[in-house]
Amino acid sequence: MNEAPPSRRAGVRARRPHDSRQDAGATKALLIGVFTMPMVQITMLAGRTADQKRKIAKRITDTLVEEAGARREAIVVAFHEVSKESYASGGELMVDKPPK
């Protein structure tokens, strides 16, 4: 009995020859899109209000637009808040430091 070629069997797709140049181009385009935007990451102790973070993000964005010529819509500001139990300065956890 003659069996159908793999590309014609139910549930089997024909595979196209692999072109690494095409993959490299797609990867380059993806990397350019990801890494050309300014991304600012701020790590700080938890406790700031949304209004405070809004003002910080606006001032950082304004500065990058004015001083670096960045496009406003491409700028990302990410806030990473950490607890006093997860943040150390000078080898000492913030939770262990006396209040100033």
The CA-to-CA distance between both ends of the chain, in Å, stands at: 87
The rounded distance, in Å, linking the Cα atoms of 28 and 26 is 5
38 is known as an active-site residue: yes
Candidates 5, 6, 38, 99; catalytic one? 38
Q: Which residues are designated catalytic? A: 38
